[in-house]
Chain A
Amino acid sequence: MALSEENRKGRDRASLPPWVKTTALTMGSIAVTMLGLLFVTFIIGRVMPIDPVLAIVGERASQSTYDAVYLELGLDKPLVVQFAYYIWDVLHLDFGTSLLNARPVSEDIARVFPATLELATLGIIIGVVIGVPLGVIAAVRKGSWTDQVARVVALVGYSMPIFWLGLMGLLIFYGILGWVGGPGRVGIFYVDVVPSVTGLILVDAALDGNWDVFKNAFSHIILPASLLGYFSLAYISRMTRSFMLEQLSAEYITTARVKGMSEWDVVWKHAFKNIRVQLVTVIALSYAGLLEGSVLTEIIFSWPGIGSYITTALLSADMNAVLGGTVVVGLIFILLNIFSDLLYKVFDPRAK
């Protein structure tokens, strides 16, 4: 009887559709990852030698004011209890209130994340559109001047401090040439001109049909996005070159050439096709890095993004804001990983 029941349960499990099992595993993995991430961040925040109460009340508040806020923050409770309360609130989509500006963290993130999303997306587009062809050409013409140029471009991208490059970019293209807008997402005359629908100013301006705002916003985003794009393309082009060299030395490429296939087809239809899976990982990682927020770029360009938001919060022990930002960044990584996995299956039939 027991054996028969066991067999039946086994059959039931086996009969679950594969996508259900995959989804359940993915969701479980996400939950465990997020919980671990939050726990570590929470503990770091609590052991930092910064008093979060002082961040709120200032250094001169009376002891009674200090005590009231201390209790309000629940700091009198054990760490585990504080963490449990926090998780409970997060499950109810309540990230708490920022200690630094007394506003709901969810509102803050909804305000700063679109700014980073817009900048990072344009940055990664620039990085991919230039970096991938550059890497392919450098691999195909290995040792040529084109390869040397690509190498120098990548080297400068790796080694140049972004802070310095950003300031030089501003000085030349904004200060001297006047080709682009200055710091900030949009010129002062265009602030709040179009209604915020997505929080992405370029998209909102297009939706509103206000092309003056669009042009102005584009003039402000193009320089920081190019800067981020440059740093991405340095990485993407080197990785593309490396992947392509590996493929171009494979026997099937030699066979294709012997068969008289055109060089264009050899490179793009055979070699490049086979590096797509690796390239997706590289691009996804680059994009995730940009979506975390590039703090220095955001500071130089007065870009109100999530990077500077989390950094400022961390330096002031505003743990609600730090944890809220951590949730968002963690989710970005997880979603991009899932997206990469899906693309693997598209590009590589063996992964299906």
Chain B
Amino acid sequence: MFHFKTSLLAGLMASTLAVASVQAATPDNMLVVAQNIDDIVTIDPASAYEFSSGEYVANTYDTLVRYDAADTTVLAPALATEWRVDADNKTVTFTLREGVTFHSGNPLRGEDVVGSWKRVVSLDKAPAFILTQLGWTPDNIEQMVTAEGNTVTVRYEGDFAPSFVLNVLAARPASIVDMQTVMANEVDGDMGHAWMNQNSAGTGPFALQSYRPAEILTLQANPDYYQGAPAMERVVIQHNPEGASQRLLLENGDVDMAKNLDPNQIAGLDGVDGVTVETYPQAAVHWVSFNQKVDTLTDPAVWEAARYLVDYDGMASSLLKGQMKVHQAFWPDGFPGALTDTPFSYDPAKAQQILAEAGVDLPINVTLDVISAPPFTDMAQSLQASFAEGGINLEIVAGTGAQVITKYRARTHEAMLLYWGPDFMDPHSNAKAFAFNADNADDKYASTTTWRNAWMPPAEMNQKTMAALAEQDAEARLAMYRELQQETQAKAPFVIMFQAIKQVAMRDAVTGFVNGATSDYVFYRLVEKE
């Protein structure tokens, strides 16, 4: 028995020693990121349409022009060194950069540009609509986009401002892929789609080393990157869905960056040695909308009163602290064309007056659909309390993201609390969503906030949206978008409340991380460790 006890004790001590000292700082040439990446459906740029896959594409692929890591607010040359716009003939001519190679070592060719875009249009996956706006179809794409030597000529159909066309070509699905490698891995006519879900074939600063869904994604530096090899030889993105775990990993030095911490977890890092928190404005705007198929929500007085029934400052300074800031127009602050006025504040008395003067029957009982996750449920509860002050009773209906979207798409909701991020960095992306509806019929589906709330904007608003899209003068165009935002604030059944803010906690040795307004502008190539 004594022998057994001694052995047991020795075994326990050995186990303790074996598992001790498991912590270690990450190497200087490796960036380890704790992040929830279970939103990734695919990593093929022709189909990638989630936040995390957007970050991946931004770091492994390039476009002809792009908002680069050096300044994410300026459209800069990338795989094209120069371009010439002929608005009359609806043509843009690009000159390709010399000496660029793909991760495979294959040189960049004009044929890769044509093939990459044809691939997106032909596969017709989720983000394809961004390119097909230019009038491209699988049948005409080879006539619309042609290559000769290092010159690529792009034609488009429609009255578009040149900046709009360039913004479309800077978007994620316009990424250029190594067509020789991709098509060599084609299976059953899939244009290499299955292979691209396991591999990268770009020119970007990083190449995919390994990817296991909801587990790990590892990037390897591209030493031949045309803007110079990244300092980090590897970027390891470790899936970690729980913020508290991410915080522990960061504090212990096992990761360099934690990306999904909530405000309480961020606050808990205050004063922690070796950890810093960076804040990045985001492009997504958060709003409440009213479905116009619901009779009690069709009176414009209800929309106007609702704008005074939101405790903007209260929410921004408490439950949304560090996550959102007050913003009341559809185009986000920090981007050309944004309207930064905040004309509305929490004023229940004014709301009551508006409703009384309009003769609205109170109370109004309405359901509010919301994604069942923080901070949305907290926001819904705040809205429930403040709307009740005006006689509008919100019944909160919480569901998963998929449930809420299903209902929203079918236009069977009443009120909706949701957010919208632009598909690409052009004001039209949001103007089309909030100020334009071509056809409000049930069978004319459009993925816009207007159609989904069954709201038909006034004819002049529709016309102005399309006029802004075609406006050739850049400043005049931006002025038109500012007017459209003002009109939306006055006339639409939407209450735009906040603009998102991203907070990323990182070891203070990490510098150079770039987190632009959307996931398409998250860059690791300038990261260094001091």
Which of A174, A304, A317 sits near B252, CB closer than 8 Å? A174
Q: Which residues of A contact B19 (CB under 8 A)?
A: 179-181, 215, 218-219, 222
CA distance A216 to B254 in the complex (A): 13
Task: Tell whether, in the assembled complex, residue B38 and residue A183 are in contact, meaning their CB atoms are under 8 Å apart.
Answer: no
Q: Which residues of B contact A189 (CB under 8 A)?
A: 24
Which of A60, A99, A111, A302 sits near B242, CB closer than 8 Å? A302
Task: Tell whether, in the assembled complex, residue B41 and residue A51 are in contact, meaning their CB atoms are under 8 Å apart.
Answer: no
Task: Tell whether, in the assembled complex, residue B402 and residue A178 are in contact, meaning their CB atoms are under 8 Å apart.
Answer: no
CA distance A64 to B245 in the complex (A): 42
Look across to chain B and name the residue whose beta carbon is closest to the beta carbon of A59. B405
The verdict on A312 contacting chain B, using a C-beta distance below 8 Å, is yes
Task: Tell whether, in the assembled complex, residue B41 and residue A100 are in contact, meaning their CB atoms are under 8 Å apart.
Answer: yes
Look across to chain A and name the residue whose beta carbon is closest to the beta carbon of B130. A60
A39-54 residues with Cβ-Cβ distance < 8 A to B are 48-51, 54
Which of B124, B194, B241, B407 sits near A64, CB closer than 8 Å? B124
Task: Tell whether, in the assembled complex, residue A302 and residue B38 are in contact, meaning their CB atoms are under 8 Å apart.
Answer: no
The verdict on B129 contacting chain A, using a C-beta distance below 8 Å, is yes
Contact with B along A293-305 (1 / 0, CB 8 A): 0000001111010
Task: Tell whether, in the assembled complex, residue A50 and residue B402 are in contact, meaning their CB atoms are under 8 Å apart.
Answer: yes
Which of B129, B194, B249 sits near A60, CB closer than 8 Å? B129
Return B108 CB to nearest CB of chain A, in Å: 27
CA distance A101 to B129 in the complex (A): 21
Contact with A along B37-49 (1 / 0, CB 8 A): 0101110000101
Q: Which residues of A contact B180 (CB under 8 A)?
A: none
Look across to chain B and name the residue whose beta carbon is closest to the beta carbon of A64. B124
The verdict on A184 contacting chain B, using a C-beta distance below 8 Å, is yes
Q: Which residues of B contact A180 (CB under 8 A)?
A: 19, 22
Tell me which of B72-80, B210-218, B280-288, B382-390 binds A. B210-218
CA distance A58 to B214 in the complex (A): 18
CA distance A57 to B128 in the complex (A): 10
The verdict on B378 contacting chain A, using a C-beta distance below 8 Å, is no
Task: Tell whether, in the assembled complex, residue A102 and residue B41 are in contact, meaning their CB atoms are under 8 Å apart.
Answer: yes
CA distance A187 to B23 in the complex (A): 9
CA distance A171 to B252 in the complex (A): 10
Which of A101, A170, A317 sits near B248, CB closer than 8 Å? A170
Task: Tell whether, in the assembled complex, residue B249 and residue A183 are in contact, meaning their CB atoms are under 8 Å apart.
Answer: yes
Return B217 CB to nearest CB of chain A, in Å: 11
Return A126 CB to nearest CB of chain B, in Å: 12
Return A215 CB to nearest CB of chain B, in Å: 5
Contact with B along A221-264 (1 / 0, CB 8 A): 01000000000000000000000000000000000000000000
B46-104 residues with Cβ-Cβ distance < 8 A to A are 47, 49-50
Answer whether A62 and B245 are a contact pair too, CB < 8 Å, given A178-B252, A192-B210: no
Answer whether A179 and B16 are a contact pair too, CB < 8 Å, given A62-B129, A68-B124: yes
Answer whether A50 and B403 are a contact pair too, CB < 8 Å, given A59-B409, A181-B19, A299-B242: yes
The verdict on A22 contacting chain B, using a C-beta distance below 8 Å, is no
Return A80 CB to nearest CB of chain B, in Å: 23
Task: Tell whether, in the assembled complex, residue A188 and residue B26 are in contact, meaning their CB atoms are under 8 Å apart.
Answer: yes
Q: Which residues of B contact A201 (CB under 8 A)?
A: none
Task: Tell whether, in the assembled complex, residue B245 and residue A304 are in contact, meaning their CB atoms are under 8 Å apart.
Answer: no
Q: Which residues of A contact B218 (CB under 8 A)?
A: 191
Task: Tell whether, in the assembled complex, residue B197 and residue A301 are in contact, meaning their CB atoms are under 8 Å apart.
Answer: no
Tell me which of B232-240, B347-355, B494-502 binds A. B232-240
The verdict on B423 contacting chain A, using a C-beta distance below 8 Å, is yes
Q: Which residues of A contact B40 (CB under 8 A)?
A: 101
Q: Which residues of B contact A192 (CB under 8 A)?
A: 210
Return B426 CB to nearest CB of chain A, in Å: 15
CA distance A301 to B402 in the complex (A): 25
Task: Tell whether, in the assembled complex, residue A57 and residue B403 are in contact, meaning their CB atoms are under 8 Å apart.
Answer: no
Q: Which residues of B contact A99 (CB under 8 A)?
A: 41
CA distance A309 to B41 in the complex (A): 13
The verdict on B126 contacting chain A, using a C-beta distance below 8 Å, is yes
Task: Tell whether, in the assembled complex, residue B244 and residue A302 are in contact, meaning their CB atoms are under 8 Å apart.
Answer: no
CA distance A140 to B409 in the complex (A): 64
A295-331 residues with Cβ-Cβ distance < 8 A to B are 299-302, 304, 308-309, 312, 315-317
Chain B residues bordering chain A, tally (CB within 8 A)? 61
Task: Tell whether, in the assembled complex, residue B214 and residue A63 are in contact, meaning their CB atoms are under 8 Å apart.
Answer: no
Q: Which residues of A contact B254 (CB under 8 A)?
A: 182, 187-188
Return B477 CB to nearest CB of chain A, in Å: 23
Look across to chain B and name the residue whose beta carbon is closest to the beta carbon of A101. B213
CA distance A191 to B447 in the complex (A): 41
CA distance A63 to B446 in the complex (A): 8
Which of A68, A102, A309 sits near B42, CB closer than 8 Å? A102
A95-143 residues with Cβ-Cβ distance < 8 A to B are 99-103, 108, 111
Look across to chain B and name the residue whose beta carbon is closest to the beta carbon of A61. B126
The verdict on B394 contacting chain A, using a C-beta distance below 8 Å, is no
CA distance A290 to B21 in the complex (A): 29
Answer whether A218 and B18 are a contact pair too, CB < 8 Å, given A102-B42, A182-B254, A184-B240: yes
Return A214 CB to nearest CB of chain B, in Å: 9
Q: Which residues of A contact B529 (CB under 8 A)?
A: none
The verdict on B132 contacting chain A, using a C-beta distance below 8 Å, is yes
Task: Tell whether, in the assembled complex, residue A59 and residue B447 are in contact, meaning their CB atoms are under 8 Å apart.
Answer: yes
The verdict on A65 contacting chain B, using a C-beta distance below 8 Å, is yes
Answer whether A300 and B405 are a contact pair too, CB < 8 Å, given A181-B19, A183-B249, A216-B22: no
The verdict on A271 contacting chain B, using a C-beta distance below 8 Å, is no
Answer whether A183 and B245 are a contact pair too, CB < 8 Å, given A57-B126, A218-B18, A315-B400: yes
Task: Tell whether, in the assembled complex, residue B21 and residue A302 are in contact, meaning their CB atoms are under 8 Å apart.
Answer: no
The verdict on A167 contacting chain B, using a C-beta distance below 8 Å, is yes
The verdict on A332 contacting chain B, using a C-beta distance below 8 Å, is no
Return B397 CB to nearest CB of chain A, in Å: 11
CA distance A167 to B244 in the complex (A): 8
Q: Which residues of A contact B402 (CB under 8 A)?
A: 50-51, 54-55, 315-317
Q: Which residues of B contact A316 (CB under 8 A)?
A: 400, 402
The verdict on A175 contacting chain B, using a C-beta distance below 8 Å, is yes
CA distance A180 to B23 in the complex (A): 8
Look across to chain A and name the residue whose beta carbon is closest to the beta carbon of B30. A188
Task: Tell whether, in the assembled complex, residue A219 and residue B236 are in contact, meaning their CB atoms are under 8 Å apart.
Answer: no
11 A-B pairs in the complex with CB atoms less than 8 angstroms apart: A101-B197, A102-B42, A108-B213, A170-B248, A178-B20, A179-B19, A179-B20, A184-B238, A218-B19, A302-B241, A316-B400
Given contacts A102-B197, A309-B214, 4 further A-B contacts (CB under 8 A): A103-B197, A167-B244, A302-B241, A302-B242
